[in-house]
Chain A
Amino acid sequence: MSNTAYDRVKLARANNRPTAQAYLSALFPDFFELHGDRAFADDPAIIGGIATLSGRPITVIAIEKGRTAKERIFRNFGAPNPEGYRKALRLMRQAEKFGRPVLCLVDTSGAFCGIGAEERGQGQAIAQNLFEMSDLKTPILSLLIGEGGSGGALALAMADEVWMLENSIYSVISPEGCASILWKDAGRAADAAECLKLTAQDAQNFGIAERVLPETGLGTPPFYRQLSVELNDMISKLCALDTEELLSRRYARFRKFGAISSPFEKEAP
C-alpha cells in the first residue's frame, strides 16, 4: 500500500464515497426508518430503523453525511446533535427489549460543535450512550465506513465488534485540529495524520478494530453481497453467545486499552 495516512483521510472524506444510505438500500431492501428522540427533535444526521438481515430482525443506526450539496446541508454533514445520539440510544434500548442485534454504520467528522448542541448537552448525550451501550443486553456491531471522528463516532462504536473499511479512519482529533494545536499550522495536517496513527490498519494493530475490510469494488453489488454475508456471519455468532458472556466480552474488549505499569512501580505507602 502506497497510501499515506493523509491519503486515506482524503479517501475517507471523499465526496464520491458511498454514504450510509447506499449501504442501507443495498444491504436492507426492507429497511423501515424510525424517527425522533421522543424528547426534542429528529436529527437528520442519524438514520435509525429496523430491517431484516437474512431473515433476522435487526436494528440499524447510521450516521449519514448526505450525497448532494443540498442533502449534506440537511444532514448537517453527518455531524450529529445530542438528539441524534438520544434517538440512537432509544432505538438501541428498543432492540434490547426485543432481542434484536444492533448494527451501527459510522461516518462522521465528529459530533456537532454548535450552540444548540451545547445547550442540549452534547457531552451528556455521548456519555449516556457509552454508559448504556457498555451493558446493552444485545449484540452490537459497528462498521466504520468513512470517518470515525472522536467521541461523536465512539458514541455509536461501543460495540462487541468494530470493523473498518480499508480507507476509513478513526481518530481522537482531526489531523487539521492536531496540527494547529501542535504546530499552530493546520497546513501540516498530513504530518499530523501520520503521527496520530489513525488508519484502519493502525486501529487493528491496537486491537481497536477486529477487522479491516478491503474496498475492492466499493459500492458495487458484489461488494455489498460480500459485506452482507460477513455481517450476517458475525451477527449470528454474537447472537449465539449468552448475554452474560456477551457482556463480559464487551467489558474486556474495552478494558484492555490500558496503561503499562511502570517497571519502577512504587510500593503503595
Chain B
Amino acid sequence: MPSFQFLHRPKNPLEQGGRNSIPAKPGADDAELSEQCPNCHRQIPLSQLWNDANTCSCGYHFRIRAAQRLALLADHGSFIPEFDGLLGGDPLSFPGYQKKLSATQSLSGSEEGVLCGQVTIGGAPCCIFVMDPYFMMGSMGTAVGEKITRTFELATELSLPVVGYTVSGGARMQEGMLSLMQMAKTSAAVRRHSQAGLFYLTVLTDPTTGGVMASFAMEGDMIFAEPGATAGFAGARVIEQTVRKKLPPGFQTAEFLQAHGFVDAIVPRNEQRAILARLLAMHQKGGVR
C-alpha cells in the first residue's frame, strides 16, 4: 500500500477517500494486502479487487480512481486526454488551500479532480469526463468546472456524445462563490450540447452530492447510477440536523433515486462498458432522426 495513505490525514470526511480507499494499482509487494468488504465482511486481496474492477463478489462497489475507471471503459489505447494543465489557482487566497492542493496533487499524482478527453467505447467515439473521488473528494472548483465545460464545448464542436462519471462532495468551498458559478457555467455548456441534438449520459457514482448533483450530474439525457451509490443534494447529516429525524434506511441511495424517478437504470460496474457501447452506437451524430 502506498505510504500516502498513512501520511495524508484528511481534515474532514469529505476530503478523504473514505474508509474504503485502496491504491489504484497494487504493486507486487501488495499482493498479500487485503481490504475488508463493508457489506459482506470478506477479506479481499488487493490484487483480486483490482481484477474485479474494485467490486466484491457480493455486489458491493468500492470507490475507484478516475484513471482505473477509464481503463475499464476505454477501448485499448483510444483515450486522448484533453485540457491537462488547467489549474484554478487560489482565487480567494483561502488559508491553507494552496498547501492542501499541492499536497493532494503530489500524493495523488493528478493535477485536479477530473479526467477529460476523447475516447472510443466499443468502437463508438465520445467525449468523456471522469471525476476522481481521491482528489479532495471530487469537489468542484474552477478548474474542474472549466475542464467539464470545455469537454462539452469540444463535444459540441465535434458532434460527439458525452459520457460523464460523477463523484463529488459538492462545490469546493475554498474557491468560494467562484465554485458556485461552475454549476451555472457547466449547465450552460451542457444545454448548448443538448440543443445541438447530441447525447449526454451521466453515471452517478458514490458519492455524488451538492453542487454537482444540482448541475451537470442531473442534466443527462439518461442518468445511470452504480449499485449502492449515495447521491443527493444535501448531506445526510445536514438533513438529520435540519429535520431532527432519523433518516429512513436506504435514503439517498441509487435504488432510492430510481424508485423516486430520478435515475434511468442502476448498472453494475462490470456491465457498464457493454451498455455504454450499445447506447453510444445508437446515438451517433445527433441520434436517430
Task: List A residues at the B interface (Cβ < 8 Å).
Answer: 111-115, 117-124, 126-128, 130-132, 134-135, 150-151, 154-155, 158, 170-173, 177-178, 181-182, 184, 195-198, 202-203, 206, 208, 250-251, 254-255, 257-262, 264-266, 268-269
Task: Report B's interface with A, CB cutoff 8 A.
Answer: 11-12, 14, 80-82, 84-89, 91-92, 94-95, 111, 142-143, 145-147, 149, 171-173, 175-185, 187-192, 194-195, 209-211, 213-219, 231-235, 238-239, 242-243, 245, 247-248, 251-252, 256, 260-262
Which residues on the B side are within 8 Å of A258 (C-beta)? 142, 145-146, 149, 185
| B184, closest chain A residue (CB) | A254
Query: Do B190 and A131 have beta carbons less than 8 Å apart?
Result: yes
The winner among B147, B173, B209 for most chain A CB atoms within 10 A is: B173
The residues of A that contact B209 with a CB separation of less than 8 Å are 123
The chain B residue with its CB closest to the CB of A171 is: B177
B92 pairs with A197, CB closer than 8 A: yes
By the criterion CB–CB under 8 Å, are A259 and B187 in contact?
A: no
CB distance from A254 to the nearest CB of B (A): 4
User: What is the chain B residue whose CB lies nearest that of A111?
Assistant: B233
Known A-B contacts A203-B177, A261-B85, A266-B85; the reply to A154 vs B243 at CB < 8 A is no
**A197 CA to B173 CA in the complex, in Å?**
11
- Check if B247 sits within 8 Å of A115, measured CB to CB: yes
Cβ of B191 and Cβ of A135 under 8 Å apart?
yes
Q: Which residues of A contact B11 (CB under 8 A)?
A: 182
CB distance from B220 to the nearest CB of A (A): 10
**Inter-chain contacts of A134 with B (CB < 8 A):** 184, 187-188, 191-192
Which of A134, A150, A254, A257: most chain B Cβ within 10 A? A257
Instruction: For A170, list chain B residues within 8 Å (CB).
Output: 177, 180
Q: Are A171 and B176 in contact (CB under 8 A)?
A: yes
* A259 contacts B191, C-beta separation under 8 Å: no
Across the two chains, which residue of chain A brings its CB closest to B144?
A: A259
The chain B residue sitting closest to A260, CB to CB, is: B89
Whether A127 contacts B85 in the complex (CB less than 8 A), given A120-B260, A251-B188, comes out as no
Complex CA gap A202/B231 in Å reads 32
Query: Does the CB pair B177–A118 fall under 8 Å?
Result: no
Do A254 and B234 form a contact, CB below 8 Å, given A198-B176, A266-B84? no
Return B163 CB to nearest CB of chain A, in Å.
18
The reply to whether B217 and A151 form a contact with Cβ atoms under 8 Å apart is: no
- Contact of B187 (CB < 8 Å), options: A115, A130, A262: A130
Q: Judging by beta carbons under 8 Å apart, are A113 and B218 in contact?
A: no
Q: A154-B184, A208-B177, A265-B85 are in contact. List 16 more A-B contacts (CB 8 A).
A: A113-B234, A115-B245, A115-B251, A118-B251, A122-B232, A128-B219, A131-B194, A131-B219, A134-B192, A135-B191, A158-B187, A172-B172, A196-B176, A197-B177, A257-B184, A259-B88
Across the interface, which residues of A come within 8 angstroms of B218, CB to CB?
A: 121, 123-124, 127-128
In the complex, which of the residues A123, A195, A269 contacts B95, with contact meaning CB atoms closer than 8 Å? A195
Residues of B within 8 A of A172 (CB): 171-173, 175-177, 179-180, 211
How far apart are B71's CB and chain A's nearest CB, in angstroms?
16
In the complex the two chains form, what is the Cα distance from A260 to B85 in whole Å? Answer: 10
Shortest beta-carbon contacts, A-B, top 8:
A123-B213, A113-B234, A130-B187, A134-B188, A265-B85, A259-B146, A123-B233, A257-B181
A118: B residues at CB distance < 8 A: 232-234, 239, 251-252
Say yes or no: B211 contacts A206, CB within 8 Å: no
What is the bound-complex CA distance between A257 and B216, given in angstroms? 16
Residue pair A123, B214 in contact (C-beta under 8 Å): yes
Q: With A132-B191, A134-B187, A255-B149 in contact, is A127–B214 under 8 Å at CB?
A: yes
In whole angstroms, how far apart are the Cα atoms of A266 and B245 in the complex? 50
Expressed in whole angstroms, the Cα–Cα distance for A260 and B94 within the complex equals 16
State A193–B145 Cα separation when bound (angstroms): 23
Q: Judge whether B188 and A151 touch: CB under 8 Å.
A: no
Shortest C-beta distance, B231 to chain A (Å), equals: 8
B179 / chain A contacts, CB cutoff of 8 Å: 172
Alpha-carbon gap, A208 to B216, bound state (A): 20
Also in contact, A262 and B87, with CB within 8 A (given A114-B242, A172-B171):
yes
A188 CB, min distance to chain B CBs, angstroms: 11
Inter-chain CA distance A111–B233, complex, in Å, is 9
**Bound complex: CA A250 to CA B189 (Å):** 12
A144 to nearest B CB, angstroms?
11
**A132-B191, A151-B210 known; A257 vs B182 contact (CB < 8 Å):** yes
The CA of A269 and the CA of B82, in the complex, are separated in Å by 9
Indicate if the CB atoms of B232 and A123 lie closer than 8 Å.
Answer: yes
Question: Which B residues are CB-close (under 8 A) to A158?
Answer: 184, 187-188
Task: Tell which of A126, A182, A203, A259 touches B233, judged by Cβ atoms closer than 8 Å.
Answer: A126
Chain B residue with Cβ nearest A159: B184
Of the candidates B176, B185, B189, B242, the one having the most CB atoms from chain A within 10 angstroms of its own CB is B176
